Every structure is written in structure tokens, then in C-alpha cells.
Structure 1
Amino acid sequence: MSSQQPALSYTVPGLSREAGSEIIALLQARLHALNDVALTLKHIHWNVVGPHFIAVHEMLDPQVEQVRSMIDDLAERISTLGGEPKGTPGALVAERDWSDYSIRRAEAIEHLGALDLVYTSVIEDHRAAMAATEESDPVTQDMLIEQLRGLELFQWFVRAHLESSGGRLSTAGAKSERAAAHAAANQAQNQP
């Protein structure tokens, strides 16, 4: 992924321009990921069908709004550090290292299975960025920690639909969105 930024002329006091540039690159990757999540959530919102349509449809809009707020925080932090946040669709597509969300119109449980994997990936990468900023920029780390709190809560909401009464997560071991969607649908069909 190429998140090239122009050389910084300044950054926040107490942080070197080199460290500022590294943090900006981390934050730009997070910005792209969360822009993608917001679009994916709306895609699911529009394309969910089945008996649990309304529950999932209505669960997603508050998540979209909170993710959009996280996006704004990331962009503003990039600017504060002296960088230029890139929020255009072209920059997102050119710089991402993941594929588009692969589920089209589908049952609620299938979308939730795939969304579980989306959240897992985003949370893992957010945690890596959080760890990378621990020493150099605790202000950025604090922002990422707060965002993780929200993202993990959203994944819990999703996983509540995917967990069996015995505590088994239907998406456990799934490596692709399609596999997770299929596994979630199978578990739902086989529950008494």
C-alpha cells in the first residue's frame, strides 16, 4: 500500500517530523479502512433480506454514524500532525490492500457472518497501529484506543447473532467473507 505524503514542514511540538510522518502513514491506512467499513455497512444496510431484515437494517445505521465520526477524528489528527488526509474514493481504492466486500443481496445472517470478518481485520489493524504509537504518540494512541472500544462493541453486536447457545461462533476458522457467510447460514439452519 502506498500512502505517500509530502514531506512535513511541521508537526506537533515534541514529535519529530520523521515520527509525525510515520504516524500519519498509519493513520491514513486507518482512515482508508474505516471509510471502507462505513461504505460496507451501508451496502449491507441496503442489501440485507430475510426474517431478521429490520433488526440488522436498523442496527447498522448507528454504526455507520459512529464510524464516520471516527473517520473525521482520524482525518483531523492527520491534519494536526501536519499531514494531508486523503479521503477520496480514488485514493482509497489505489492505496488499499484488501478486496471489495464480496456479499451482495443476502440473508441477514450471511451478511453478519461476513461482517464479523470485516470487523476482525479492521480491529487487528487498529490494534497494530495502537501498539505502534505507544511510545511515539500517546495522544494518537488514546484516540485509537477509544475507536477500538467502539469497533469491538460493534463486533460484539454482530457476534451475538452468530454465537450458538453453547458459545460456538459460527464464523470460527472462516478465512473469507463467503466462507463466513456460508458458515453462519449453516449454523442458523441447524439450530433448533
Structure 2
Amino acid sequence: MTLTQQYPDPVDFTLPGVAPRDANAVVAVLQDRLNALGDLGLTLKHIHWNVVGPHFIAVHTMLDPQVAAARTMADETAERMAALGGVPLGTPGAIVDQRSWDDYSLRRADAIAHLGALDLVYRGLLDSYRQAIESTGALDAVTQDLLIGHTHDLEQFHWMVRAHLEDSGGQLATEGAHTETEGARHAGA
């Protein structure tokens, strides 16, 4: 989300030291992050329920803490929006209507295939987090700090996923993949 996009419920009041115009821009960025985190939590649970194969238990149990963290991050994001005078939209419809990405495409699949697809999910999520960090820096350092903390945790989870896809020489099985389907295919090859 760029700062030129307007948040649907303009901020009339905000925190001391934050101009309403800046709060509107920050709330728009945070709504996009809220949508991404809601989507991530649902996607991780979907994988948790649909993973099969010899690595089932490792992946199945690895994902629940990630789901819990995504929910906590979503709560922190929504609360920051409210503190800035925004109205967080946390409904499934808001996610679907406002997101710029497609639904997760894998169904029941081997654990390594799901991890290959999840690698691409995390790559896209982390790219958008870095953009959000950059766009909020001059507007609200507190929000930027929140986003940096979330990025730290998301990078940690991404590392855990990628560790399953990497060989001892550091070669990543999903190298060159641009879609979840390609990531799953590359990982399973």
C-alpha cells in the first residue's frame, strides 16, 4: 500500500505529536499489514491441517507458534491503528476486498511442497513489511518500531521454513521460484 492510497475511514483525531494527515497515511499502511497478518494466520493453519508425508509432525508442530505470533502481531497492529484514531477492519471480507495477493494455492500436499510454497509467502510478506517500514519512518517512529519488531519475528519464522529447504552448501531448493506452485514444485524436486 502506498501513502497515496487513502484509508476508508479518515482519522479525525490522533495521538499528540502525530498530524492527522500522517496518521491517515500510517493507518492505511497498518490496515494493509493487518490484512496480511490475518491472511498469514489463516494460511498457516490451512497448511497445518493439510500437510502430509514423512516430515508431517515437524511441520505440523512448527506452525502453531507461528499462527499464535501472527495473531498477536495482528492484535498489536489493530491496537496501534485504534490509538492513532483509525478503525481497524478485521473481517474476512476486508482481507479479501483489500488484499493485493491471491489465496494460498496448495491443498493437501507433502510437507516439503508446503514449505516451498510457504517460502514464497514469507518472501512476499517480508518484502511488503520492509516497504511499510520505509514508508512510516518519517511519519511515526513508534509505528515503524512496531513494524521492525514484527519483521524480526517473521524473519525468524522464514528462517525456520527455509532451513527445511536448504542443502548443506546453502543452496535453496526454491531458488528461481516466483509463485507458490513453483516453490512447491522446486522444493519437491
Q: How does the TM-score come out when normalised to structure 2? A: 0.96
How far the C-alpha of 1:31 sits from its partner, in A, is 0.4
How far the C-alpha of 1:15 sits from its partner, in A, is 1.0
- Amino acid across the alignment from 2:113: E
Is 1:11 matched up with 2:14? yes
Whether contact under 8 Å (2:7, 2:25) holds in the other structure is no
1:72 to 58, 70, 75: 75
What is residue 169 of structure 1 aligned with on the other side? 172
1:23 to 26, 29, 33: 26
Q: Distance in 1 between matches of 2:10 and 2:65?
A: 37
Q: Distance in 2 between matches of 1:149 and 1:28?
A: 19
What is residue 125 of structure 1 aligned with on the other side? 128
1:138 to 132, 136, 141: 141
Q: Secondary structure at the match of 2:164?
A: helix
Query: Structure 2 regions of 5+ residues with no counterpart?
Result: none
What is residue 59 of structure 1 aligned with on the other side? 62
How far the C-alpha of 1:7 sits from its partner, in A, is 2.3
What is residue 113 of structure 2 aligned with on the other side? 110
Q: Distance in 1 between matches of 2:153 and 2:9?
A: 31
Q: Secondary structure at the match of 1:171?
A: coil
Q: Secondary structure at the match of 2:143?
A: helix
- Matched pairs, number: 186
Whether contact under 8 Å (2:6, 2:24) holds in the other structure is no
Q: Distance in 2 between matches of 1:107 and 1:14?
A: 51
Q: Distance in 2 between matches of 1:150 and 1:3?
A: 28
Whether contact under 8 Å (1:3, 1:28) holds in the other structure is no
Q: Distance in 1 between matches of 2:59 and 2:6?
A: 34
**Residues 66-113 of structure 1 deviation map (CA, whole Å, 9 limit, x = unaligned):** 110000000000000000000000111011111100000000000000
Distance of aligned partners of 1:145 and 1:124 in 2 relative to their CA distance in 1, 3 Å threshold = same
What is residue 185 of structure 1 aligned with on the other side? 188
- Amino acid across the alignment from 1:69: T
What is residue 94 of structure 1 aligned with on the other side? 97
Q: Distance in 2 between matches of 1:176 and 1:9?
A: 40
Moved over 6 A (4+): none
- % identical equivalent positions: 55
How far the C-alpha of 1:9 sits from its partner, in A, is 1.6
RMSD: 1.1
Q: Distance in 2 between matches of 1:89 and 1:9?
A: 26
Q: Secondary structure at the match of 1:162?
A: coil
Q: Distance in 1 between matches of 2:61 and 2:153?
A: 17
How far the C-alpha of 1:33 sits from its partner, in A, is 0.5
